[in-house]
Each structure stands twice: as structure tokens, then as C-alpha cells.
Amino acid sequence: MQTQTKRNDVRKMTMQFMVVFFAAYLCVGAVCADDFQQQLNELRSRIDAVQNDTAEMRESLGELKAKQSQTWLTQERAAEIRFLIQDVLNDADARSSLQGDGVLGGWSDGFFLASGDGRFKLNIGGLIQERYVLNYLRNGTGANADRWRGGFENTRTRLSFSGHIFDKDTTFLVQAGFGWLDPNALSSSPFVEISSRLWDSWIKFRLSENWSAKLGVFMLPFTRESLVSDKYQLAVDRSLIDYRVGLARSQGVEFTWSSGNKRVFLATTNGSNTLTSINAAANNPTPPWPALDSDSEWSITARAEFLLEGSWEQFNQFTSPVGSEKATMFGVAVHAQNQERNNFGGTKRDQVGVTADVSMHFDGATLFASGTFHNQKDVTPTAPNVDWLGYVLQGSTYMTDTTEVFLRFEGGGAMLDELGGDTVQILTAGANWYLDKQGLKITSDYGWSIGKITPAMDNWMVGWRESDKRDAEWLFRTQLQLAF
């Protein structure tokens, strides 16, 4: 019983203690809850502040990283550029150290081969002129009884090799291939044929800043039509007048003086055969002639040119493409030669000539005029003294960037009745279609002979046959040219 009573007392005391403990706990918890909430709120505020600071730091770090990336890319590009420059310099040093053993090649306005040290260079070029010619005579007689005469021909097919050797002051040119054996031949000549031949072959030395000397076979510095290359003519070919009173090629030495807007050419050669003045031409109508063959006893040709505006390079051709600058050049030349005594009763056939020309280039248009006069002694026993006259007027204009039309009038001849008189009068009109500038072009023209074509003036290469009546002949020509 007592034991049970004690157990009940213990339980009662335990319950009282628990009630007091929980009461105290609730009291303390109530008091402390407010402090805890306050602390919790402060902690949240600190966390929010830290988050804001972290976001700002991340944004700043992103901007810094981007800047560093850009700087790194710039530095990378700079390093690449430095590497490329160094590579080029190393390559240049390597080529310089080859001492001529390196070979360069490719295309630069033509095919070329060159040594690495620059002492040697070989340019390889070519010219192909495929031509169709149709001639009509209203009153053909004798050998020209056939009124219509026409056909195709390879007027010029040649390769050229040029460049410099040992240094840039020593240059050369060799042009050989197939063409008219005598471009200046009369129809009665035995050399009216196309065969293998040599055009130019010379070596040129630069003597000083202003002087140079050229030795070999070259075009005599007389008429400008002759001095402009075959591939840079305005019409299908040069005028008939130039093939007769121009001087064409010879062999010898030519000195050139050039200073600014003036230049002078002085040549001493074996003479010209265009007026049938070289006996050596009976065996070989074009130079080179053997040194001891009967050519000229002496021959002097001099030409002076004055550039009034523009550049010299503009007058390497007769056209002035759209976009060209204005240019003007005036030229004058003289020639004299004396034939070596061989026949004609022991006489010496001598001649003297003078020519003058003016060339004007505009933006897509050109004008050209020239006049030539020769006096020749002892042409034949019945023609002891003959005056030859020739004049040419021509102009052109571009209709489009690649299409050009032109007009040319030429006249002259031997002013002696026994040789037909001064009766040549030819009007030529035509057009150029530049497929790739002068490198690939088509030229077509139509010529009308208002006067006569005498036996002393006809030329089958140009396309004009002998006609003894006025207004009795016309000529159509078309040509495809490939030049490189």
C-alpha cells in the first residue's frame, strides 16, 4: 500500500515538473521567437545583398573577359601579320641568295621566265592574223582580168622573244615566223608570196640616263605608221601609201636620245628598199642582207618627236580606249641614202625624203595626219628624177567600251606621168571589235579607190591590185587577231 502511494506521488511530481518545463519552454520560445525572426530577416537581407554583389561581379567579370578576348584576338592577328611579313622577307632573302639559280615564271602582260636575282628575263609573245580579202575590179584586163579576187590567208604568224640579259640595261628582241616575204612588193615582183621570214632581231644597250644604242634589224625611224606595231594598227593594215613611201625595215645601228617630252632617233643602216632602191633585194627582199652585197653606200635616218601632253606609252597604238587621258604628239623625220654602184650604167641611185605627222588622242577618240615626200634620182633611164608624195588622214571614235569605228583617207603616188602620176585616192571605213583589248580583236573595213592604183603603187598584201581607171576598184577585208 505504501509502495503504491509512493509511486503515485512520484508520478504526480513528474507531471508537475513537465507542466512547469513546458510552460517555461513556451514562455522562453515566445520571447525568443521574436529575436529569431529578426535575425532571420537580417540574414535574408545579407543574402540578398550578397546576391546583388555577386551579380555585379559576374557582369564585371564578363565585360573584362570580353575585353581580354578582343585583346587576345588583336594580338593574334598582329602575330599572324608579323609571321607573314617575316615569311615574305625570308623568301626574298632566299631568292636573293640563289645567285641566278632560282627561276620564276608566269603571266604579266605576257608569258615570261626570269631568274631569281633579276638579272635575266625572257618574255614570250606571239601574233596570229587570220584575214579574208575580197577585191573587185570594174574593168580588169591582162593579169587582172578576173574582176573578183578573194580568199583567206595567214597574213602574219610569228613568235617573239624579248627581255633583258645580264642586267636591265641590255635588252633584246627577236621576231620570226611566217608572213609575206616582201610586204612592200609590187605585183610584178617574184616575191609576192608568204614564206618563213625574220621581222626584227636586235640588241639594245642603255648607255646613260638619256642615251641608248640598238644594233640589228629594225623598223627605220621614219613614218609613224611604220613605227606602230602590226598588232596595234587601227585598220586591218597600214595604208597603201605607207607601204610605198614609208621606209620599212633595214639593218644597222640606231641611237636614241630621250629627255622628258622630247626624244630623237638617229640611225645609220644599209638603206630602205620600199622604192626599189636596194639591189640586194633582188635575192632577198627583206633584211638582213650580207655585208658585201649591193645595198646602199650610205644611209642616214633621223626622227624627232615632241610630246605636247599625255604619255609616250599612249602612242604605242593608234587607238585611245574610253577613259584615256588626252595626249598629243608631233613628229618629223628625214632620210637620205645613196645606192652602191652595181648597174644602171654605173650610176648611183640616191634619194632624200622628209615626213611629218601629228597624233591626237582623246577619251575614246583619235585623230592622225601625216605627209611624206621623197625625191629619187635615176629610177629608170626614162625617169631620171622622180618625186613621190603621200598623205594620210584618219580618225576613230568608240561607240561602246569595246566597239570602235574609224575612217581613213589616203592619197599620193609618183608625180611623174611615166609612173602613173599622183593618182592614188582611197577612202576606207571600218570597225574594231575588241574582245579582249588588242589581245583578241576583230577588224573589218571597206576601201573604195576613187583614183587609180598604178603599177608603181599596187600591193597585194594590203589588197589593192592595179587599176588603170578611176573609181574602178573596191576592197573588203576582215581579220581576226590573237596577240600575246
pLDDT in tens, 401-449: 999 999 999 999 998 887 778 899 999 999 999 999 999 999 999 999 9
- H or E stretch covering 445: strand 440-449
Of residues 77 and 229, the one with the higher pLDDT is 229
Confidence of residue 29 (pLDDT cuts 50, 70, 90): very low
| CA within 13 Å, CB half, 147 | 3
Minimal CA–CA distance to 105: which of 96, 97, 116? 116
Say if residue 285's pLDDT is above 90.
no
Q: What is the DSSP string of 174-228?
A: EEEEEEES-TT--TTSTT-SEEEEEEEEEEEEE-SSSEEEEEEEEE-SS-HHHHS
CATH of 108-483 among 3.40.50.300, 2.40.160.10, 2.40.50.140, 1.20.1050.10: 2.40.160.10
C-alpha cell at 212: 641608248
C-alpha cell at 292: 658585201
Domain ranges of the chain: 1-97, 108-483
- DSSP strand pairing (327-339 vs 296-309): antiparallel
CB 309 within 8 A of CB 326: yes
Of residues 45 and 295, the one with the higher pLDDT is 295
Angle at 245 between CA 481 and CA 430, to 5 degrees: 35
For residue 25, the model assigns a pLDDT of: 46
Please provide the average confidence, as pLDDT, over all residues in the chain: 86
For residue 257, the model assigns a pLDDT of: 98
For residue 294, the model assigns a pLDDT of: 84
265 bridge partner residues: 256, 303
Say if residue 24's pLDDT is above 50.
no
Confidence of residue 361 (pLDDT cuts 50, 70, 90): very high
C-alpha cell at 352: 632624200
What distance in Å separates the CA atoms of residue 136 and residue 304, rounded to the nearest whole number? 40
Say if residue 79's pLDDT is above 90.
no
C-alpha cell at 45: 537581407
Give the mean pLDDT of 86-102: 56
Q: What is the DSSP string of 149-161?
A: EEEEEEEEEEEEE
Minimal CA–CA distance to 441: which of 470, 404, 474, 392? 404
Angle at 288 between CA 284 and CA 291, to 5 degrees: 95
DSSP 380: E
CB 465 within 8 A of CB 427: no
DSSP 466: P
Confidence of residue 394 (pLDDT cuts 50, 70, 90): very high
- DSSP strand pairing (211-219 vs 327-339): unpaired
Confidence of residue 88 (pLDDT cuts 50, 70, 90): low
> Look-up: residue for cell 615626200?
373
pTM to 2 decimals? 0.77
Minimal CA–CA distance to 274: which of 115, 461, 475? 461
C-alpha cell at 264: 630623237
> Look-up: residue for cell 655585208?
291
Of residues 328 and 185, the one with the higher pLDDT is 328
CB 392 within 8 A of CB 412: no
**How many other β-carbons are positioned within 10 Å of the β-carbon of residue 182?**
23
Give, in order, the Cα–Cα distances in Å from 134 to each of 123, 229, 479: 36, 24, 12
For residue 208, the model assigns a pLDDT of: 96
> Look-up: residue for cell 585616192?
425
pLDDT, one tens digit per residue, over 112-148 is 999 988 899 999 999 999 999 999 998 766 667 789 9
**How many other β-carbons are positioned within 10 Å of the β-carbon of residue 119?**
15
E strand spans, 30-147: 103-107, 111-115, 121-137
For residue 19, the model assigns a pLDDT of: 46
Give, in order, the Cα–Cα distances in Å from 3 to each of 14, 16, 44: 17, 20, 58
Q: Is 68 helix (H, G, I), strand (E, B) or coil?
A: helix
CB 314 within 8 A of CB 300: no
Give, in order, the Cα–Cα distances in Å from 54 to each of 41, 47, 189, 262: 20, 10, 106, 82
161 bridge partner residues: 124, 174
Of residues 108 and 253, the one with the higher pLDDT is 253
Sequence-distant (≥ 6) Cβ neighbours of residue 130 within 8 angstroms: 152, 153, 154, 155, 479, 480, 481
